Chains A and B, each alone.
Chain A
Amino acid sequence: MNFDLDTDQRDAAAGAREFFTGQASPADARRALDGAPLQPGRTALADVGFLGITVPEECGGAGAGEVDLAVVAEQAGAVLAGPSLVTAGRAAVLLAGQPDLLAALADGSRAFAVLDGPPGGSAPSIDAADADLLLALDGDALVVGEGEATAGTPMDATRGLASVRLTSRRVLAADAGPLWTRARQVAGVVLAAEDLGAAARAVEMGIGYARERQAFGRAIGSYQAVKHALVDSWVGVEQLRSLVWWAAWAADRAPQDLPLAASAASAFAAETLERAAGTCIQVHGGIGFTWEHDAHLYWRRAKVDRLLLGDEAEHLDAVAGLVLDGALTR
Chain B
Amino acid sequence: MDFEDTPEEAAYRAEVRSLLEEHAAELVHMDSGEEGTAGSRTEELALRRTQRVLAEAGLVGVAWDTAHGGRGGTLAQQSIVHQELARARVPALINHIGLGMCAPTVIAHGSQQQRDRYLPRLLRAEDVWCQLFSEPASGSDLAALRTTAVREGDGWVVNGQKVWTTLAHVADFGILLTRTDPARPKHAGLTMFVVDMHAPGVEVRPLKQMGGQSGFNEVFFTDVHIPDSERLGEPGEGWRVALTTLLNERVAVGGGGTDLGSSVESLAQLAAERMPALGHDRQVLARQALGRAVVAALANRYTGYRRYTAISQGGLPGPEASAGKLAGTASAKLIADLGVRLLGDDALYMGTPDGDRWQRTMAGLPGLAIAGGTDEVLRNIVGERVLGLPPEPREDKHRPFSEAAATRQTGAMA
Contacts and interface: CB of A to CB of B under 8 A. Distances in A.
Interface of A: 1-6, 9, 67, 207, 210-211, 218-219, 221-224, 227-228, 230-232, 234-235, 238-243, 245-246, 249, 253-254, 263-264, 267-268, 313, 315-321, 323-324, 326, 328-329
B271 interface: yes
A324 B271 contact: yes
By secondary structure, the B interface counts as: helix
B376 A228 contact: yes
B379 A228 contact: yes
Contacts of B383: 221, 227-228, 230-231
A211 B4 contact: no
Contacts of B76: 1
A242 B290 contact: no
A319 B334 CA distance: 15
Nearest to A327: B268
Contact of B1 (A4, A207, A324): A4
A23 B391 CA distance: 37
A316 B3 contact: no
Interface stretch (B151-159, B161-169, B236-244, B305-313): B305-313
Counting chain B residues whose Cβ lies within 8 A of the other chain, the interface size class is 35 or more
Given A3-B308, A264-B298, A316 B390 contact: no
Contacts of B309: 1-4
Contacts of A221: 383, 389-390
B326 interface: yes
Contact of A235 (B2, B272, B302, B326): B326
A254 B290 contact: no
Contact of B299 (A1, A210, A227, A264): A264
A240 B300 CA distance: 9
A243 B390 contact: no
A38 to B, nearest CB: 31
Contacts of A6: 1
Given A3-B302, A231-B379, A253-B2, 5 more contacts: A221-B389, A249-B1, A249-B2, A249-B3, A324-B271
Nearest to A250: B3
Given A4-B310, A249-B3, A316-B291, A329 B303 contact: no
B2 A1 contact: yes
B288 A316 contact: yes
A242 B306 contact: yes
Contacts of B292: 267, 316
